[in-house]
Amino acid sequence: MASCTPNTGTDVSVDYDDPVMGAVAKTCALIAALASLAWVYPQGIMKNNLTIPFWKDDHTSAGNQTITKSFWKEGSTFIHAHSSDPGEIWPAVYEKAYAKWQNGSEICDMSLLASIKWPGNGVTALMRLTGWKDSDTTGVSYTHATASYANGSAIYNDIVSKYVGAGTNSSYQVKYPGTAWTTAGNPGLGITANHEYSILGVYTKSNVQYIVLRNPKGASPPSSGLLDNSASWQVSYKNYQHGNAVTGATTKTVPLSNGTFALKLDAFKSYFNAFGFVK
């Protein structure tokens, strides 16, 4: 029997692979955005806090939402968003707080939560989570349609020239939170339709270019023929606020598993519709 029950979880850390979607498919943009923010600027995540700030699309404050520490669970299993780390609850707090902002009051019923107007894509979700902007002062957008590029290499070069920070000549971490999304996707090749993914970075290996993505479902990688099937990706890593480094570089090893994967750039161009960042 599912019900809203008090939770005593404690948020020990904030990691990009913590947020995992629950039963509501429409939350993928919000969960992918949370993972992207946790990857680039974990200091921007409110952990161990039941009051969450949000921003309007014009980047002005929408105020704070305070929720109770109760979530819909079946036994010990969260029905909605949760963390891959047992006991941590910050992804569930954000999802519930966002729903309260949109609904006007706390809700837990599955049918009501499914009817909330969730963000249409991850860039919109990131704007509402951070107040950061999706275009520059002259109105040039940080969101790009993949169809506007000649090939995957052109996408790779654009990301490297505009959106990366720490890295080497062949491996780069993005320094702005970003997401990518599909419409048709290619379900036969494991690329979900109408779905959002977090962007972690890009790299080149054996003359093949890859984009590192994370599925907010925490699972379900594309077909192995589209991927680098290595166990992990190693990158020079920093935290960034508005593109400015706030920590020194460390070498980070990112497992290419549990929803995180390195997709060939040509496959990314073929099956994803757009990608974007906030600054």
- Distance, CA of 83 to chain centre: 13
Mean pLDDT, to the nearest integer, of 117-143? 96
CATH 3.90.70 fits 143-277, yes or no: yes
Instruction: Say if CB 36 and CB 199 are below 8 A apart.
Output: yes
pTM of the shown model: 0.95
pLDDT computed for residue 109 by the predictor: 62
Enumerate the domain spans of the chain.
3-130, 143-277
pLDDT greater than 90 at residue 8? no
pLDDT over 70, % of the chain: 97
pLDDT computed for residue 101 by the predictor: 95
pLDDT band at 104 (very low <50, low <70, confident <90, very high): confident
Q: What is the mean pLDDT of the chain?
A: 93
pLDDT band at 86 (very low <50, low <70, confident <90, very high): confident
Instruction: Say if CB 211 and CB 248 are below 8 A apart.
Output: no
Mean pLDDT, to the nearest integer, of 144-172? 94
